[in-house]
Amino acid sequence: MFQELSEQEILRREKLEELRKLGIDPYPAAEFKVNVTAEDIKENYERDKLNYKDISIAGRIMSVRDMGKAAFALIQDSTERIQIYVRRDDICAGEDKTLYDVVWKKLIDLGDIIGVEGYVFTTKTGEISIHVTSFKLLSKSLKPLPVVKTDAEGNAFDEVSDPEFRYRQRYVDLIINPKVKKTFEQRSKIISSIRDFLNNNGALEVDTPVLQTIPGGAAARPFLTHHNALDIPLYLRIANELYLKRLIVGGFDWVYEFSRNFRNEGMDRTHNPEFTVLEFYVAYRDYFWMMNTTEKLLEKIALDLHGTAEIPVGDKLINFTPPFKRVTIYDAIKEHTGIDVSNMDETQLREVCKKLHLEIDNSMGKAKLIDTIFGEKCESNYIQPTFITDYPVEMSPLTKKHRDKQGLVERFELMINGKEIANAYSELNDPIDQRERFEEQVRLMERGDDEAMFIDYDFLRALEYGMPPTSGIGFGIDRLCMLLTNQPSIQDVLLFPQMRPEVQTVTSEELEK
């Protein structure tokens, strides 16, 4: 983005040139041999001081306290912050004191990345520190960091909390807000925990297409693009379900994928147009087995991440200990609205929506009307993990009909803290029934429902070869990470959430200026 340089930025560029005049490369060759981390020093120095007599560490300067011929500074590496002690006579052993008097005191700034060598000691105040015997500038920072101050106990104040700044400049957010980095480390641990569970139970991780000729597997509005070489329209996937089920047809018994999906819909605290979903499909299993497996998986993740199944989320305590509560969708609606909608047709459901003051339109069929009632009046009540089960067939075009209950399907959604976290089925494997369900989706599309499903003829062909009884599930990984890291917004668990661009067109005349 083209903009005028600030006074600080101009000054730092002048320092850059001064460094070069002194023969110091402000961006030297990449290698600097590091043999220790700040975290390692802080955790282990007191137990084994002999191992820290000759250390080499690199990090970003976060603060400096000048004392004339010596200085204390805080540097931050990828693990922690640690204090360093720089003394004029130690880094300038001869007559030439330029490295300290000019480079360190005048040309080095907060935010610069340096490498230091020296030894670890404990100050008179008891702080583990590094006595620097030599230092090297590794990268000159041309933009000043926002200053975040901390008290003696390490509690931050004057934190940078503006979401616009934090999400747009995540790289700065990670530097100045250590808690943010921890959140993304926890996200990685969550995904690793899931992989361990699936791999140890015999599942196979696979990859399926992101660019698809038909946006199948979910009811959502897709992004459309064009492939020049084939001269065809392509869609960014809204789900990977139909491809994973093709693999079950092909003979795999348990497949999974962490899928990057894209939906051209609204954005809020729980929705981003680009998001991560885990889906897995298991042959010869049903949705009852999937509920039990889901309970085991979530308990394992909580234990791996926090060492306990009880997790604080906001002002609540969520307990992931099995078994989870199970409630049918019709019972949920009756409990929270007082209305039994189980035998209602579309016209009656419209009257219920009007009575409940819910916003609806003519494109909405029975499925969307029921979904609206549940979403607006029921969903937020389910704080502890709860399986909402046995949905109407109209709401679930890819789900097997219920073995005992007419007009329903074998489906559940997992609700936690008032939000859907997972969606699972006993999968529909009757190709004739599946074709009829797809055709009903086409009729909804003709009514104006832009989230209705397309007919995937190749998927129907795959089913005609025979798919074994199968259970499948999709987890919203971003929402799961929000829960398990106690974050209020999906943007807080996405390193680079979608935002309006700030890039402006720059003319050659402006560049010359």
Confidence check: pLDDT of 503 > 70? no
Place of tokens 């459309």: 224
**Cα separation of the two ends of the chain:** 15
Chain segment 30-80, per-residue pLDDT in tens:
789 999 999 999 999 999 999 999 999 999 999 999 999 999 999 999 999
Band of pLDDT at residue 15, cut at 50, 70 and 90: very high
Confidence check: pLDDT of 447 > 90? no
**Which amino acid is present at 86?**
V
Confidence check: pLDDT of 512 > 90? no
CA distances from 40 to 35, 43, 125 (A): 10, 5, 20
Band of pLDDT at residue 463, cut at 50, 70 and 90: very high
Per-residue pLDDT at 154: 55
As a whole number of angstroms, the distance between CA 156 and CA 173 comes to 14
Query: For residues 216 and 135, which has the higher predicted lDDT (pLDDT)?
Result: 135
Q: What number of CA atoms fall less than 13 Å from residue 469's CA on the CB side?
A: 11
Chain segment 289-299, per-residue pLDDT in tens:
999 999 999 99
User: Percent of the chain, pLDDT > 70?
Assistant: 95
Mean pLDDT, residues 490-507: 85
Domain 180-324+384-391+409-426+466-492 class in CATH: alpha beta
Chain segment 411-437, per-residue pLDDT in tens:
999 999 999 999 999 999 999 999 999
The mean-pLDDT minimum among 234-243, 349-358, 499-508 falls in 499-508
Q: Where are the domains of the chain?
A: 7-145, 180-324+384-391+409-426+466-492
Name 66's bridge partners: 71
Confidence check: pLDDT of 507 > 80? no
Per-residue pLDDT at 291: 98
Band of pLDDT at residue 92, cut at 50, 70 and 90: very high
Band of pLDDT at residue 147, cut at 50, 70 and 90: confident
Band of pLDDT at residue 148, cut at 50, 70 and 90: low
Phi/psi at 436 (nearest 5 deg)?
-65, -40
Chain segment 101-122, per-residue pLDDT in tens:
999 999 999 999 999 999 999 9
Place of tokens 């199944």: 309
Band of pLDDT at residue 159, cut at 50, 70 and 90: low
Confidence check: pLDDT of 199 > 70? yes
Per-residue pLDDT at 161: 81
Summary mean pLDDT of the chain: 93
Mean pLDDT, residues 452-468: 94
As a whole number of angstroms, the distance between CA 412 and CA 401 comes to 13
Confidence check: pLDDT of 235 > 80? yes
Per-residue pLDDT at 131: 98
Confidence check: pLDDT of 303 > 60? yes
Per-residue pLDDT at 475: 97
Q: May I ask the CATH architecture of the domain 7-145? A: Beta Barrel (2.40)
Per-residue pLDDT at 248: 98
Band of pLDDT at residue 4, cut at 50, 70 and 90: confident
Q: Structure pTM? A: 0.90
Confidence check: pLDDT of 365 > 80? yes
Band of pLDDT at residue 171, cut at 50, 70 and 90: very high
- Residue of 399, 397, 415, 238 lying closest to 326 (CA atoms): 415
Confidence check: pLDDT of 377 > 60? yes
Report helix, strand and coil shares of the chain as percent, to nearest 5: 35, 25, 40
DSSP notation for 86-103: EEHHHH--SS--HIIIII
Per-residue pLDDT at 486: 97
Per-residue pLDDT at 220: 87
Per-residue pLDDT at 217: 86
Per-residue pLDDT at 396: 87
Mean pLDDT, residues 260-283: 95
Residues 6 or more apart whose Cβ sits within 8 Å of residue 237: 208, 209, 210, 211, 212, 215, 217, 222, 259, 261, 262
User: Percent of the chain, pLDDT > 90?
Assistant: 84
